[in-house]
């Protein structure tokens, strides 16, 4: 019998995973901080486009099931990454707020492939009014107990609002490209980005600017205090092999979670959570 | 650039036959078998013509929901209804939703092609 569209998507073997580096920019030098795993639907179908794939999934109210399939596909792909590369994954708030089994699934799935949970950052995405906030925050707390970091995606748009900022208390705020576009020419957008950066810093979180589209805007976000940048002009989402060819992914000290002996360490207040603080080497990636 | 056509029908054989025929005619053709799939495609892809059955799935007249979606989103797309159901009230409701042409199943592919050409302004 022919599989339905949703059944096909729920088969993780039909999904492919691309990785887009998130860079730390400092004094004109870019260093890969982490990679975002981006899932694409079955090849040869329109669902290979992420916007169509996830729009369909939301219309089917199948976020939790598809998030799990995506995580399986991502874990399989991550096994080919160097063990010290941090990985961001997208999970719907609805999945975290409604599916009580997600954390256990997450843990088992990673464990089966010998992947450490501490290397993952869960990017919370939401396009619909949020579910049960108390369950969402409880699930986030469970993830944090496993060493997972939290990012709030698309900050400033849709459901990634002030309430979500408080409920999720993310380590990372990912500013949507809408606010970063033409930053060099638009003082109103600059004001919005500046206020979000100030807010994030006050809440001891780091800021990631997404979809920066020009060198001018890149300079602006850096001047405004944005910590990290994810942009096609720096590197688009690519299959792992292509990232390796470009030299963005390799077993390199810049990915090392702890610096080698003798390096100067610096405490990063924004990444102190639950009594665990991260020491990082000066001159290396702040958030590795 | 080739005009984009979306075929919405839960009959795979019919979808494939229409797709192959229209593709041979120079159109870029996508197919959807269910309402949500059609809605997602319509949201992101600028189609010139949608060809839809009125009865999608065994449970509901999903084709009317497709028409409703097109109307609500004010999508600049022409609509051909291809259906085996000729109930007058259904046809009236569909017409009110802005259908450009009705074809009764089983329709000849040549007839469908002519309707698509007419709506896209293509010469036969």
pLDDT tens per residue across all 288 residues of chain A = 567 788 888 888 999 999 999 999 877 788 999 999 999 999 888 999 999 999 999 999 899 999 999 999 999 999 999 998 999 999 999 899 887 799 999 999 999 999 999 999 999 998 666 567 889 999 999 999 999 999 999 898 877 688 888 888 999 999 999 999 888 889 999 999 999 999 999 999 999 999 999 999 998 898 898 989 999 999 999 999 999 988 887 744 334 343 333 333 223 333 443 333 332 333 333 222
- Residue B30, CA atoms < 13 Å, CB-side half-sphere: 24
Q: How far is A56 from chain B (nearest CA, A)?
A: 5
Domain containing residue B59: CATH number: 3.40.50.2300
Report the predicted TM-score, pTM, of the whole model to 2 decimal places. Answer: 0.82
Out of B12, B33, B39, name the one closest to residue A59 (CB). Answer: B39
**CATH class of residue range A5-252:** alpha beta
Total domains in the fold of chain B:
1
Strand partners for A151: A123, A172
**Are B41 and A46 in contact (CB < 8 Å)?**
yes
Place of tokens 């939401």: A126
Rounded Cα–Cα distance for residues A260 and A262 (Å): 6
Among all residues of chain B, which has the CA nearest to that of A51? B44
Out of A49, A51, A59, name the one closest to residue B36 (CB). Answer: A59
CA distances from A177 to A86, A125, A166, A218 (A): 22, 15, 22, 12
Strand partners for A30: A25
Out of B12, B34, B40, name the one closest to residue A55 (CB). Answer: B40
Q: How far is A62 from chain B (nearest CA, A)?
A: 12
Residue extents of the structural domains in chain A: 5-252
Q: Is B45 on the interface with A (CB under 8 A)?
A: yes
| Rounded average pLDDT over B101-115 | 87
The predicted pLDDT at position A15 comes to: 95
Rounded Cα–Cα distance for residues A153 and A32 (Å): 19
Classify strands A228-230 and A16-26 as parallel, antiparallel or unpaired: antiparallel
Share of chain B above pLDDT 70, in %: 89
Show which residues on chain A lie within 8 Å of chain B, measured between beta carbons. 2, 4-5, 46, 49, 51-52, 55-56, 59-60
Domain that holds residue B63: 4-120
The answer to whether A239 touches A246, Cβ cutoff 8 Å, is: no
Q: Which two tokens stand for residue A29?
A: 């030098």
Average pLDDT, chain B: 86
The answer to whether A74 touches A121, Cβ cutoff 8 Å, is: no
| Rounded average pLDDT over B18-42 | 94
- DSSP H helices, chain A, are 5-10, 50-59, 63-78, 93-98, 102-112, 133-145, 162-168, 177-180, 187-202, 215-223, 240-246
């Amino acid at each position: 019998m022919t599989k339905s569209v949703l059944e096909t998507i729920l088969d993780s073997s039909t999904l492919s995973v691309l990785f887009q580096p998130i860079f730390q920019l400092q004094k004109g030098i870019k260093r890969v901080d982490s990679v975002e795993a981006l899932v694409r639907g079955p090849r040869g179908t329109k669902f290979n486009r992420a916007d169509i794939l996830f729009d369909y999934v939301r219309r089917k109210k199948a976020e939790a099931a598809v998030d799990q399939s995506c995580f399986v596909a991502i874990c399989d792909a991550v096994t080919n990454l160097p063990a010290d590369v941090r990985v961001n994954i997208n999970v719907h708030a609805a999945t975290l707020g409604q599916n009580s089994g997600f954390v256990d699934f997450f843990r088992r799935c990673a464990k089966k492939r010998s992947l450490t949970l501490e290397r993952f950052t869960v990017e919370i995405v939401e396009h619909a009014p949020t579910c049960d906030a108390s369950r969402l925050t409880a699930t986030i707390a469970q993830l944090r107990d496993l060493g997972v970091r939290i990012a709030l995606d698309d900050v400033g748009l849709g459901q990634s609002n002030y309430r979500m900022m408080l409920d999720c208390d993310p380590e990372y705020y990912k500013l949507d490209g809408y606010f970063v576009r033409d930053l060099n020419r638009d003082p109103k957008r600059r004001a919005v980005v500046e206020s979000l950066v100030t807010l994030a810093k006050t809440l001891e979180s780091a800021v990631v600017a997404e979809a920066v589209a020009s060198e001018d805007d890149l300079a602006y976000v850096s001047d405004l205090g944005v910590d990290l940048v994810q942009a096609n002009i720096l590197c688009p989402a690519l299959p792992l092999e292509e990232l390796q060819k470009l030299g963005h992914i390799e077993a390199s000290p810049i990915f090392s979670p702890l610096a080698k002996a003798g390096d100067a360490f610096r405490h990063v207040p924004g990444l102190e959570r639950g009594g665990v603080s991260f020491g990082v080497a000066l001159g290396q990636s702040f958030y590795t | 650039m080739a005009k984009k056509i979306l075929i919405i029908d839960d009959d795979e054989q019919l979808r494939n036959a229409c797709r192959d025929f229209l593709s041979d005619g120079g159109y870029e053709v996508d197919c959807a078998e269910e309402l949500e799939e059609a809605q997602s495609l319509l949201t992101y892809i600028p189609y010139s013509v949608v060809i839809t059955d009125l009865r999608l799935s065994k449970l509901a007249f999903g084709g009317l929901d497709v028409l409703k979606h097109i109307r609500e989103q004010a999508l600049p797309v022409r609509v051909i209804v291809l259906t085996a159901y000729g109930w007058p009230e259904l046809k009236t409701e569909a017409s009110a939703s802005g259908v450009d042409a009705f074809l009764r199943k089983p329709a000849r592919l040549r007839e469908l092609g002519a309707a698509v050409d007419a709506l896209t302004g293509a010469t036969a």
